[in-house]
Amino acid sequence: MAPSDITAELKHLKKSPGFWKETWSRFRKRKLAVTALLFVILMGLAGLFSPAIVGAKPVVCYYKGHYYFPAMGYYNPTWENPVFNRDKFRKRYPVNLKEKDPNSWAIWPLVYQDPVRRIFENEWPGRAGNPTSEDGIPSWLRKPSEETPSQLLPAINLFGTTSNGIDVFAQMVHGTRSALMIGFVSMGIAGAIGILVGALAGYFGGWVDAVLSRAIEVVMCIPTLVLILALLAIVSRPTIWHMMAVIGATGWTGIARLTRAEFLRLKQSDFVAAAQVLGVSRFRIIFRHILPNALAPVLVPITFGIASAILIESGLRFLSFGPEGPSWGSLLKEGRSNYEMWWLIVFPGLGIFSAVLAYNLIGEGLQEATDPRLRDGGRD
């Protein structure tokens, strides 16, 4: 065959897809896994924009020739009102802006309610801090009346209220942020520790592997739940960051063992031997050549670990342990003491179940997409 014919033939050849592109192509064939991924993305958006979805502050308002963004104060107090005096502004309800300035206006959240603010006030005639009226009608079925305190925008309680008159939907939305933070941050810490320890143990072997393997076994003997309870008993004002740190510091053992096994297998490969012959440093061989090839199977236990972290956080809040703040577990705890308020059990329970199921489906999809044995015979 002539060289020109060979060149023409090569032009028609398609470039073979990379590992990650091929993995994503197989992952997309798992409809349940893709649906779960979209659900997690939707949860992330809900947690990120929770102040704009449910909150006691308008997103944008115009007052006396200036624009203000009170809802941004949930993210950073300095972003709330860079021009106007924030303390004075808080004393003026945005709904009364038209009384002070005919040209003023405000864009409200979808539901005018805060996850820690009561709907029912003592000065509300005929109402006494109870989510159910005298005739037994739940708050979300009650028609708005003129008795609304301070003439605020009538609250739309989609999921009802707690016994203290706090909107459940607002707590569900803000609790999504806590659930995602506890999952991603804790497993981010666990993933960093596990990958580093497993990589060093698998690549160097010998006494390094023996010492790190014994350290992994020691950490595996420490129960995460008991350690968190001990920490909460010691710390005077525990926060969600303490829980993330403990879960991350104890949840890396499975990741480390899997990373170690992948490094033991890959360090005997030809591309590693070629890099060593060329004089590439050990650090570069570990993190530039071996780690990218060993990372795909490691993502599977990280995904399952996120679901486990959400269950741990919800369980601690259900047992009245942990920091204050909106949480699915806290709603379940309140529903346990009052079985008549079934919405305090159904909606948080569905939230926990959906989140854990979504992460498990994603982990199963990743496992099938990255396993060479399931490339042709896996479920689609």
Residues 6 or more apart in contact with residue 165 via CB below 8 angstroms: 118, 119, 120, 129, 130, 131, 139
d(CA 84, CA 161): 34
**DSSP H or E run through 23:** helix 19-27
Tokens found for residue 75: 């993210």
What per-residue confidence (pLDDT) applies to 178? Answer: 85
Q: In the Cβ-directed half-sphere of 254, how many Cα atoms lie within 13 Å?
A: 14
Report helix, strand or coil for 62. strand
**Domain ranges across the chain:** 56-151, 168-374
Tokens found for residue 190: 């666990």
65-to-62, 103, 107, 372 alpha-carbon distances in Å: 7, 9, 16, 63
Report helix, strand or coil for 207. helix
What per-residue confidence (pLDDT) applies to 24? Answer: 81
What per-residue confidence (pLDDT) applies to 233? Answer: 78
- CATH superfamily of domain region 168-374: MetI-like (1.10.3720.10)
Spell out the per-residue pLDDT of the chain, length 380, in tens.
Answer: 556 666 666 566 566 666 677 778 888 888 898 999 999 999 999 888 888 888 777 788 777 777 778 788 777 777 766 544 444 444 444 444 445 556 677 777 766 666 766 665 433 333 333 344 444 333 333 333 333 333 344 456 778 777 777 788 888 888 898 888 888 999 999 999 999 999 999 888 889 989 999 999 998 888 888 888 887 778 777 788 888 888 888 889 989 999 999 898 888 888 888 888 888 888 888 888 888 888 878 888 888 889 988 988 888 888 877 777 788 888 888 888 777 788 888 899 999 999 999 999 998 888 888 776 665 544 44
d(CA 74, CA 53): 12
